[in-house]
Amino acid sequence: MPTIPQLGLQTPDQFIIRHGAVSSFIAEKQPDSSSAEHELDAFIELRNEAAHTKVENLLAVDAIGNIGRFLVALGNALADMVSDAVIRRHIESKKYAPFMQISNTYGDRSIVVGIPGAGLRIRVGHEVVVLRGDGAYQMALVEEIQLNDAPSNEALGDGTTEVGIRLNVRSSQNAQILVCRVPSLGLAQPPVLTELVPPRIESEPDTEAAEITFGTASHDLDDDESGAAGDTADQ
């Protein structure tokens, strides 16, 4: 079975630890005594106990609720990790092309100005990538376009005319706006990843372990005595 890095995804530990949903969950709990690794360890231990031994102690409602909230946060982080890998692959394969470099921002920094390159088009409702110089990025939705001091539904870059764009996220000067070259990839709906995604952390792929790893602790489900996963306990 291929490891997560071999699938083209960055190792999940750093992405999950830094993810907003997981960080918020840990902060709401006890940040000094809890961590994503600790919560996952506790869940796996409870699952294995329920699957392979007689359950003697029942969890309180609050404890069950905490497990549920952690699993939701973990699921959101893993989904965003896959989305991040897809978006970065689109950028690397030139399916997203540089539309313009942001020369100035205004208001709450959601209004950006720049001169688009020639031949690329942008429309209200388009999903774009706002890419910083350090590799961090945000997905954004084009809410308004100002062309020649007048509102416009679209703008076609000519390399000389300045364009103003209102996005649904804050941006920064000198960041680049990338537009999708493939029409089916640009969805006219709110994007999934509107938080700032940090630069990717590369790591050497682990050719032996196939399970998710946090730091030095590996997490997989215990096997039953026959060596097969405890499928019957899960049913």
pLDDT at 149 over 90: no
Cα–Cα distance measured from residue 99 to residue 87, given in angstroms and rounded to the nearest whole number: 16
Q: Can you give the pLDDT at residue 141?
A: 92
What's the average model confidence in pLDDT over 74-78?
Answer: 85
Q: Can you give the pLDDT at residue 150?
A: 93
- Please report the beta strands in 148-204, taking only residues with DSSP state E, as ranges in sequence order: 150-152, 154-156, 163-167, 176-180
Cα–Cα distance measured from residue 13 to residue 10, given in angstroms and rounded to the nearest whole number: 9
- % residues pLDDT > 70 (the chain): 70
Question: pLDDT digit string (tens) for 157-179?
Answer: 899 999 999 999 988 888 999 98
The one-letter code for the residue type at 121 is: R
Directed axis angle between helix 61-92 and helix 36-52, to 10°? 120
What's the average model confidence in pLDDT over 38-52?
Answer: 80
Residue 33's pLDDT band, with cuts at 50, 70 and 90, is low
Q: Which CATH architecture does the domain made up of 96-181 adopt?
A: Beta Barrel (2.40)
Where along the chain do its domains lie? 5-91+208-234, 96-181
Cα–Cα distance measured from residue 87 to residue 193, given in angstroms and rounded to the nearest whole number: 10
Cα–Cα distance measured from residue 15 to residue 24, given in angstroms and rounded to the nearest whole number: 14
